[in-house]
Amino acid sequence: MKLDQLEKSGREAIESVTTIQQYINGTFTVPASGKFFTNISPFTNEKINEVAAGGKEDIDQAVMAARSAFKGEWGTMKIEERMKYIYKIADVIDEHIDEIAPLESFDTGLPLAQTKKMVARAAQNFRFYAEMVKSRLVGEAYQVDDQFINYTIYKPVGIAGLITPWNAPFMLETWKIAPALATGNTVILKPAEWSPLTANRLAEIIDKVGLPDGVFNIVHGYGEEAGAALVAHEDVELISFTGETTTGVEIMKNGADSLKQFSMELGGKSPIIVFDDADFERALDACVWGIFSFNGERCTANSRLYVHESIQEEFINRLKERVSNIRVGDPMDETTQIGPLIHKNHYENVRSYLELAKDEGAELYSGQIPADVESGNFVAPTLILNAEQEMRVVQEEIFGPVLAVMTFKEEEEVIQKANGVRYGLAGYVWTDNIKRGHRVAQKIDSGMLWVNSQNVRDLRIPFGGAKHSGIGREGGHYAFEFYTEAQVVHVALEDHYIPQFGK
Ligand code: NAD
Catalytic residue status for 287: no
Mean pLDDT of 376-396: 98
**Whole-number pLDDT of residue 192:** 98
| Cα(241) to centroid(ligand 1), Å | 7
Q: Is the dihedral of CA 98, 100, 105, 110 positive or negative?
A: negative
**Whole-number pLDDT of residue 212:** 97
Q: What is the pLDDT of residues 236-252, one digit of tens each?
A: 999 999 999 999 999 99
What CATH number labels 271-451?
Answer: 3.40.309.10
Using alpha carbons, select from 379, 331, 290, 335 the residue that is nearest to residue 115. Answer: 331
- Other CB atoms within 10 Å distance of the CB of residue 395: 15
Average pLDDT of the chain?
A: 97
**Nearest protein Cα to ligand 1, atom 20:** 227
Residue 164 near ligand 1, beta carbon < 6 Å: yes
Listed by start position, the domains of the chain span 3-37+47-266+469-488, 271-451
- Other CB atoms within 10 Å distance of the CB of residue 437: 19
**Whole-number pLDDT of residue 434:** 97
**Whole-number pLDDT of residue 4:** 87
Q: What is the pTM of this model?
A: 0.98
> Is 375 in contact with 44 (CB distance < 8 Å)?
yes
Task: Give the phi and the psi of residue 19 in degrees, each rounded to 5.
Answer: -60, 140
> Is 482 in contact with 472 (CB distance < 8 Å)?
yes
**Whole-number pLDDT of residue 1:** 86
Exposure on the CB side of residue 231, measured as CA atoms within 13 A:
25
Residue 166 CA, closest ligand 1 atom number = 26
> Is 406 in contact with 394 (CB distance < 8 Å)?
yes
| Cα(280) to centroid(ligand 1), Å | 35
3-class SS letters over 11-66: HHHHHCCCCECEEECCEEECCCCCCEEEEECCCCCCEEEEEECCCHHHHHHHHHHH
> Is 61 in contact with 25 (CB distance < 8 Å)?
yes
Q: What is the pLDDT of residues 11-52, one digit of tens each?
A: 999 999 999 999 999 999 999 999 999 999 999 999 999 999
Burial category of 327 from C-beta neighbours within 10 Å (exposed 0-12, middle 13-18, buried 19 and up): middle
Q: What is the pLDDT of residues 290-346, one digit of tens each?
A: 999 999 999 999 999 999 999 999 999 999 999 999 999 999 999 999 999 999 999
Catalytic residue status for 265: yes
| Cα(30) to centroid(ligand 1), Å | 25
Give the integer Cα–Cα distance in Å for 472 and 241.
Answer: 11
- Other CB atoms within 10 Å distance of the CB of residue 425: 25
At residue 498 the predicted structure's pLDDT band, cuts being 50, 70 and 90, is very high
Q: What is the pLDDT of residues 265-299, one digit of tens each?
A: 999 999 999 999 999 999 999 999 999 999 999 99
Mean pLDDT of 254-270: 97
**CATH entry, 3-37+47-266+469-488, from 3.30.2350.10, 3.40.605.10, 3.90.230.10, 3.40.225.10:** 3.40.605.10
Collect all residues with Cβ–Cβ distance below 8 Å to 317 and sequence separation of at least 6.
none
Collect all residues with Cβ–Cβ distance below 8 Å to 212 and sequence separation of at least 6.
26, 69, 72, 73, 74
Residue percentage of the chain with pLDDT more than 70: 100
> Is 73 in contact with 212 (CB distance < 8 Å)?
yes
Q: What is the pLDDT of residues 456-482, one digit of tens each?
A: 999 999 999 999 999 999 999 999 999
Alpha helices in 243-279 (DSSP H): 245-255
Q: What is the pLDDT of residues 183-210, one digit of tens each?
A: 999 999 999 999 999 999 999 999 999 9
Q: Which one-letter amino acid corresponds to residue 291? A: I
Q: Which of 287, 299, 397, 474 is catalytic?
A: 299
Using alpha carbons, select from 51, 494, 453 the residue that is nearest to residue 278. Answer: 453
